[in-house]
């Protein structure tokens, strides 16, 4: 096997996970071919929060500087009661966060993140990105892995050291390493919308304090998160509401009566958002069972949502995808034993962290959607915590550094 082939990494999927992984391998001298099913890479206008554990890696990959041009550095994450609008708790961010966790907390449009990652991929001579290329299957053999990829020109066979399955929550590659394959509908639908800060909806939100911060409005069985993007000229909104299973897409439609019902008892400025005739897009929240295998020691690793899609209550799915890519490349390139041993070690090290993040998301869900006595307890708990103490509760998550690989 040639030297190039012995290092060639094949990545299925050019989302956050796939693009970051490609950069992480390429900066360490491993050539990468990314195969992306979509003919054209387009991100919708939705937003994303990137916490310091993720921006630290993006900074090392040289991507953060481009993000700073349009991203907002929110001053805090604020929890408010969606009915009374009373502030329940506040985690300070901004310059304090940057000092505490040694990297910024930012909010931005997904399309800005994708553009910055793609620009870096294009500049990296070791990376080839092929769009309109659907990775259908892969076989493991003595020299590594061969993927079978369907393109408009016919089926291409691509060989390499290993295949990284970064093909998202509805991954077709998940079955390849012996896992059962399917994701599970969580019973919740994410409603998403971006509003201009100058629009009536934007002005209504700003009038209730949604400016320069990430605000989570909590309510029994429902919450709405609002944060600024595009230098503050727009606000990204995500509401989580129970709902029925629907088509697996980022841009679905649903009768707004469902949202209106969920928001019926919230403050008028919030209620109006479900009632102003503007379009929301909906996304069914699917998760992947935590006990499925993520690697086949012969040369397959699943990362990001393909491995461990989670409910977005900790706003960490994208951050975990970024951490996965960086740690996988460090483990594989820095290995002193076999590839299988490196992949197994990587999976073990990632499992404990991902499990903790998933537990954090479940706790947030219970707290944010609580009613009655549980909600009262939550409010009392938050009242007696100082903002600094609340921030300290995130040190394990945001202060995380990629482990040093000793081989």
Ligand X SMILES: Cc1cc2nc3c(=O)[nH]c(=O)nc-3n(C[C@H](O)[C@H](O)[C@H](O)COP(=O)(O)OP(=O)(O)OC[C@H]3O[C@@H](n4cnc5c(N)ncnc54)[C@H](O)[C@@H]3O)c2cc1C
Relative to beta strand 32-36, strand 47-50 is unpaired
Question: Which residue in the set 10, 13, 76, 228 belongs to the binding site for ligand X (CB under 6 A)?
Answer: 13
Nearer to ligand X, 363 or 388 (CB): 363
CB 54 within 8 A of CB 100: no
Site string for ligand X, 275-294 (x = CB under 6 A): --------x-x---------
Nearer to ligand X, 3 or 42 (CB): 42
No. of H helices and E strands in the chain?
A: 15, 18
CB 25 within 8 A of CB 301: no
Does 73 sit near ligand X (CB under 6 A)?
no
Consecutive H or E run containing 53: helix 52-60
Question: Which residue in the set 216, 288, 301, 319 belongs to the binding site for ligand X (CB under 6 A)?
Answer: 319
Cβ count within 10 A of residue 309? 23
Structure tokens at 382: 């938050």
Nearer to ligand X, 93 or 135 (CB): 135
> Which span (11-19, 67-75, 202-210, 268-276) binds ligand X, by CB under 6 A?
11-19
Does 91 sit near ligand X (CB under 6 A)?
no
d(CA 204, CA 233): 14
Nearer to ligand X, 160 or 318 (CB): 318
Closest approach, Cβ 273 to ligand X, in A, equals 16
Sites for ligand X among residues 224-243 (CB under 6 A): 238
Within 13 Å of residue 245, how many CA atoms lie on the same side as its CB? 7
Question: Which residue in the set 35, 217, 294, 368 belongs to the binding site for ligand X (CB under 6 A)?
Answer: 35
367: exposed, middle or buried (Cβ count in 10 Å: 0-12, 13-18, 19+): buried
Of how many residues is the chain composed?
407
d(CA 328, CA 21): 8
Nearer to ligand X, 71 or 238 (CB): 238
Does 135 sit near ligand X (CB under 6 A)?
yes
Relative to beta strand 162-165, strand 9-12 is parallel
Question: Which residue in the set 317, 357, 378, 397 belongs to the binding site for ligand X (CB under 6 A)?
Answer: 317
Does 37 sit near ligand X (CB under 6 A)?
yes
Sign for the pseudo-dihedral over CA of 318, 219, 268, 387: negative
# binding residues, ligand X (CB under 6 A): 33
> Which span (82-90, 288-296, 299-307, 399-407) binds ligand X, by CB under 6 A?
299-307
Chain contacts with ligand X (rule: CB under 6 A): 12-18, 35-38, 48-49, 134-135, 166-168, 172, 190, 238, 283, 285, 304-306, 312, 315-319, 321
């Amino acid at each position: 096997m040639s030297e190039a082939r012995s290092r060639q990494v094949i990545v299925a999927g050019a989302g956050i996970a796939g693009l970051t992984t490609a950069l992480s391998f390429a900066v360490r001298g491993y050539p990468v071919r990314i195969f992306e099913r979509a003919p054209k890479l387009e991100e919708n206008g939705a937003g994303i929060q990137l916490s310091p554990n993720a921006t630290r890696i993006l900074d090392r990959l040289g991507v953060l500087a481009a993000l700073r041009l349009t991203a907002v550095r929110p001053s805090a994450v604020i929890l408010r009661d969606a009915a009374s609008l009373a502030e329940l708790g506040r985690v300070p961010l901004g310059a304090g966060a940057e000092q505490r966790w040694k990297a910024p907390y930012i909010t931005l449009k997904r399309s800005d993140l994708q553009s910055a990652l793609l620009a870096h991929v294009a500049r990296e001579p070791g990376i080839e990105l092929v769009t309109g290329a659907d990775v259908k299957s892969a076989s493991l053999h003595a020299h590594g892995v061969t993927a079978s990829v369907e393109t408009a020109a016919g089926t291409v066979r691509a060989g390499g050291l290993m295949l990284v399955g970064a093909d998202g929550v509805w991954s077709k590659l998940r079955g390849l390493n012996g896992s059962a394959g399917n994701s599970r509908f969580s019973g919740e639908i994410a409603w998403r919308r971006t509003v201009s800060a100058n629009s009536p909806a934007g002005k209504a939100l700003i009038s209730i304090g949604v400016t320069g911060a990430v605000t989570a409005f909590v309510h029994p069985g429902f919450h709405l998160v609002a944060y600024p993007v595009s230098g503050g000229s727009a606000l990204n909104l995500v509401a989580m509401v129970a709902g029925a299973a629907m088509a697996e897409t980022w841009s679905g439609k649903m009768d707004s009566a469902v949202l209106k019902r969920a928001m019926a008892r919230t403050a008028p400025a919030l209620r109006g958002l479900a009632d102003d005739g503007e379009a929301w897009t909906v996304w069914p929240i699917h998760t992947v069972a935590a006990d499925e295998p993520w690697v086949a020691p012969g040369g397959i690793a699943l990362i990001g949502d393909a491995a461990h899609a989670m409910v977005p209550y900790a706003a960490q799915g994208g951050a975990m995808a970024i951490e996965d890519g960086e740690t996988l490349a460090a483990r594989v390139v820095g290995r002193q034993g076999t590839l299988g041993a490196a992949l197994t070690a990587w999976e073990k090290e990632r499992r404990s962290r991902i499990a903790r993040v998933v537990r954090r998301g479940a706790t947030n869900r219970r707290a944010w959607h609580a009613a009655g006595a549980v909600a009262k307890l939550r409010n009392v708990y938050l009242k007696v915590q100082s903002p600094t103490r609340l921030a300290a509760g995130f040190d394990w998550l945001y202060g995380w550094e990629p482990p040093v690989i000793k081989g």
